Structure 1
Amino acid sequence: MKIKNLIIFGTRPEAIKMAPLVKQFESFSEKFETKVCITAQHREMLDQVLSFFEITPDYDLDIMKPNQNLYSLTSDIITNLKPVLEEFKPDYVYVHGDTTTTMASSLAAFYSGAKICHVEAGLRTFDLNAPFPEEMNRSVTGVVTNIHFSPTETSKQNLLNENKKQDTIVVTGNTVIDALLFSVDKVNHPNFKDQEIEDLKPFLDNNKRIILVTGHRRENHGQGFINICNALKQIALEHPEVQIIYPVHLNPNVQKPVYDLLNSIDNIKLISPLSYPAFVWLMEKSYLIITDSGGVQEEAPSLGKPVLVMRDTTERPEALDAGTVLLVGTNTDEIINKTKELLLQEDTYFNMSKLHNPYGNGNACTRILEYILEDSNKISHNN
């Protein structure tokens, strides 16, 4: 009898990191019956990723609503998952990371009696309000999880410190590296055509070093984004030899300060948010990256790109310890000074860009599959 897997995700970051796991299990169809359920917590951005990775969901809860809030989102996910879980009766349910989809799906799976597998388990800032609600989501998910797939030894230790049993924790590396390596190969293939990438090319000045900027974190809204924009403005004005490319998040709290402060500067290009393949392509073309994104902290080192992180804390301390990223917060002077250092000091740039990525080498999904095969064999022998 085949092992029944249900893989659940709802946002673009989850989809990117779970897509290679879907593909991995599908390539072993003689052993696994694998189905994908999306909540569509994010709709358009999620659909772009599904198209790129050629994944067709078996279940689409389609719960996204205008002005949805955490109360309705959580209850809608749990309620709508009940018939899916009752119909398919999965042996294993896979959730990812720290979204509301992750937390609510893990609760629903717990109620159903399935084994819960948490991919990217054990990340912690130890502050339930930073980031909000992600720290709570991943902590609650960890309580009901049966198998914790941790990306690093640090995340494993966090779980051990919470008294999780050692034999339930598997260090795999991060599946985002599996996704990135697949995506780099795909976007660079001569037969790959993407209109968004073609539209980007006229924007890029090949005579300038590109600084790629992303920012959206709720905790940076307000004065934080004003500080960030003032730093970018000064960097652009003092360094005409660079070009800053900033795909601006659609949130009005981001759009207003960014366009008010940066729209008139020649070597800053403000563009619409990018699909995943276009973003991967642009990361490759960049000299360095300034971001508040968690995923970029993991991806960019595999491309040899130094990262300045516009956050005061990070649940990814491995990158800090490895030296592939630096925390600069939203301090204007700190952002300016660290950017200048990377632009002007070749040794500093070279050292950051050549360091080992602590998040793995692209074999995370293989390790997950191997563990599930071993675990399911134990269950069948016990029965």
Structure 2
Amino acid sequence: MAEADGIPCLLMRGGTSKGAYFLADDLPRDEAERDDLLMRIMGTPDPRQIDGLGGAHPLTSKVAVVSRSATGDTDVDYLFLQVGVDEAFVTDKQNCGNILAGIGPFALERGLVEAQGDRTSVRIRMLNTGSVATAAFATPGGRVHYDGDLAIDGVPGTAAAITLDFEGTAGSSTGALFPTGSVADEVDGVRVTCVDNGMPSVLVRADDVGATGVELPEELEADAELNARLASIRRAAARLMGMGDVSETTVPKVVLVSQPSRDGTISTRSFLPVRVHTSIGVLGALTVAAGVLVEESVGHDVADLPSGGSPFVLEHPTGHFDVDVAVATSGDGWTVTRSAALRTARKIFDGVVFARPRL
């Protein structure tokens, strides 16, 4: 399709993020051409993204690229792309579990899969890491049903529940749940836990870096001294994790953890890595939970751990996020035996988008 004719696009809220969803066949095959087009569609680089679809925040400058699966055991392939806001970049170095919530509905909307009665399950291969998730959602009458009664903190109102069950997320980016080989390490004089259950993360106790862990995102973003220290910790921890120089990438994330204050399991503040998440990402939540569940990890001693099958409740700036995570020892360390979450999604518009001309 010629760029001047517009590019088919479905704009959707997935979880607590918002992104532009595309069929792979509607975008250039050449990655450099694709990324240039996406930045012009999103209005990047510009802190307001005033000339594109982007919402002036990393959580609203996201892209999903979807196609029929190239393998026989999954239905669709999903590539997540994080598009910069004021910086000109597109990166595939991480997954996004929130945007993932919209992949099953998008696949049905675009005819990549067929409805399976009143409820449809779609197996999704996440190309960023090769792990798999199964999304199950309501499809009465063969159509996606977006309305429902599930509320997720960080999103107004309610919508239909989408169940996400993950496979193979432990170590999917770094090779191990605890990629340094230790449950805890000392980095820049601070005790940290480096953990990867789908989102490589560095867990740091808030009080170890002079924070309370209950600050608002804007307060944390305005603390230049704290941000410089966390950036140094992130770079050093990433080297221990085998990720090399991450100064130009969005992973690993740094997550400040502290004692819960609202009847949850633990309080979190997640850095993206500079902006602070208004909630916490799906894979970020699954990763924090997996790390904190293990004894001697950072956060384990301040967490009010669930029992009797209760969910692991992560407190965040706009409420809480409940996940179902279980870990167990294996021959060579720790493994994750269960990773699941409930999310919602909503179709916002479906049509064609016109890219900004090249500058």
More strand by share: 2
More helix by share: 1
For the pair shown, the structure with the greater C-alpha radius of gyration is: 1
TM-score scaled by structure 2?
0.33
TM-score scaled by structure 1?
0.31
Identify the structure with bigger relative contact order (alpha carbons < 8 Å, sequence gap 6+).
Answer: 2
